[in-house]
Amino acid sequence: MKKIPILLVTRDRPTLLEKVLDRLVKFTDWEKFDLWILDNKSTAANKKIINMFKYRFPFINIYATEYNQLALIQNEVIAKLKADFYIKIDDDILVGEGWTNGFVGVCERNYDKMSFGSVVLPINGFGWVPFLDIMHLREKFQNEFPDTRINQDCMDVAVFKDKAVNEFIWNHCLNLDATVETFISNQNGSFKDLICPHRYSIGAIVFTHKFWETMGGWKVQANYESNIKKQIKYQKIAEFLKNKRGIVEKYSRLNMLADLLSNTYQGILGYEEESVFDYSQEKGLIIPVTTQSIAFHFSFGPVDQYLMNTVYHKIKF
């Protein structure tokens, strides 16, 4: 039986990446799944973590690019693998016991009806509401935040930007393993596939090769591929000048200038997210989010540093 690829996209989260990989290795059946780390022009610190895990776990596959473009690196690996379907996660997604069950299950139940599927993520504009309900936290939340609306949306939602709301949710997830166990047991085996009606943050999703191919792959921002050719040219010039000047720093200001001139310093976050939602609407495809499993997105809004300062050190990884 062909293994199901797990695509882990990473660039510059070395602290979280180590925790993500620790739990991924621990809670995944590698007889059934295959891990691909998509090194999206990683920083030196990030590469150290990737190389360390590759050394410890030789079965890990690494695919690296010299440009930072989320859609493009995924397209290249997907075209190479040609699997039936894929689980894609970002480098701040923490998994637990049975985490793959939900992704595989939601895909199998909605194979031809969905664009992509997901599981409940507490820090997510859609997933935070079923999390509050299943964990019996709605009343407590309303008492603590009487003026905060409990709604579902991609970004126009408290869990995207409200520091206190994020901290409240994380304070009820700090013991990751216990949270997974409670979340599953509270449902008494009666999980549901919920339908997300709005744009969905795609930090942890499952999708089929058939869908990806029909859509024409994840959408790459305009002119990006031609800009990459410019980047390669400018980086060669940067390396030549570094050698002439005796600069030993791997990523110097000259390299940064080359990226800036070629307009490839960073990919546009959310571009493929927005385009896949528009395509889903156009084709009448659903976005099912199952309560069969839970995973933990460290943050998906502008409160990342706040959570690193106040919550990260308390999480029981």
- Domains of the chain, each with CATH number or no CATH: 4-220+268-314 (3.90.550.10), 224-261 (no CATH)
Q: Which residues face 120 on adjacent strands?
A: 294
Two structure tokens written together for 99: 């985490």
The model scores a pTM over 0.75? yes
The angle formed by the CA atoms of residues 53, 66 and 89, to the nearest 5 degrees, is 50
Residue type, 99: W
Q: Could you tell me if 278 and 179 are in contact, meaning their C-beta atoms sit under 8 angstroms apart? A: no
Q: At what angle do helices 70-81 and 271-283 cross, to 10 degrees?
A: 60
pLDDT per residue rounded down to tens, the chain (317 residues): 799 999 999 999 999 999 999 999 999 999 999 999 999 989 999 999 999 999 999 999 999 998 788 888 999 999 999 999 999 999 999 999 999 999 999 999 999 999 999 999 999 999 999 999 999 999 999 999 999 999 999 999 999 999 999 999 999 999 999 999 999 999 999 999 999 999 999 999 999 999 999 999 998 766 556 666 666 676 678 778 778 788 766 656 666 666 655 555 444 445 578 889 999 999 999 999 999 999 999 998 899 999 999 999 999 99
Q: Locate the DSSP E strands across the chain.
A: 4-10, 33-40, 61-65, 85-90, 93-94, 118-120, 193-195, 204-208, 288-294, 296-297
Residue type, 295: A
